[in-house]
Amino acid sequence: MKKTITYKELIYLEAHANHYAISNAFFKDGKWVDEQTKFSSSVKNILKQIEKLKVDYDEKLEDLRINNCLEDEKTKAILRDEKGDYKFSKESQKKLSVENKELLKETCEIHIRITEAPSNLDVETYFTFDGILITPTEDVK
């Protein structure tokens, strides 16, 4: 089963999943340590999916940067600073920010991996994982 989420939600999900994996010693020194539990296995699977979905987001964001950066008037070459980053005018930076906010609202689909919620989830992580890694909670009225 799949769930539709925004790129913004995807980024939050990635941050919480990475934090949970590292703080619970599932992931150490760049390697997965413990795949004994269903939950740790689900977190690993979700992070692999996120990695693939973020490629699409990153490509779209790069296109926005290219479309908004400064270019040489004669050669049309993209202008970069000493660090190799794109240069932007004040107006093009504002336009890029607006377009990125819209990009973050675009949706993607992720395969859900529902397992039982571990007891050590903080509230924010719980609600970030809700319906993707753990059983969805009912609406509170």
Report if residue 135 sits inside a domain.
no
In the prediction, which pLDDT does 35 show? Answer: 61
Whether 125 is covered by a domain: the verdict is yes
For all residues of the chain together, what is the average pLDDT?
A: 90
- What is the domain count for the chain? 1
Please tell me the pTM assigned to this model: 0.86
Mean of the pLDDT values across residues 90-95?
97
Closest CA to 89 of 106, 73, 75: 73
Residues whose CB falls within 8 Å of the CB of residue 9, separated by 6 or more in sequence, listed in order: 128
134 within a domain of the structure (yes/no): no
34 φ, ψ (degrees, to nearest 5): -125, 115
Q: How many CB atoms lie within 10 A of CB 97?
A: 12
Whether residue 89 is contained in a domain is answered as yes
The percentage of the chain sitting over the pLDDT mark of 90, rounded to a whole number, equals 65
- Whether 29 is in a domain gets the answer yes
- List pLDDT tens digits, range 13-71: 999 998 888 887 777 777 777 667 888 889 989 999 999 999 999 999 999 999 999 99
Q: Is residue 140 part of a domain?
A: no
Domain residues for 87?
Answer: 2-129
Higher pLDDT: 119 or 65? It is: 65
pLDDT surpassing 60 at residue 75: yes
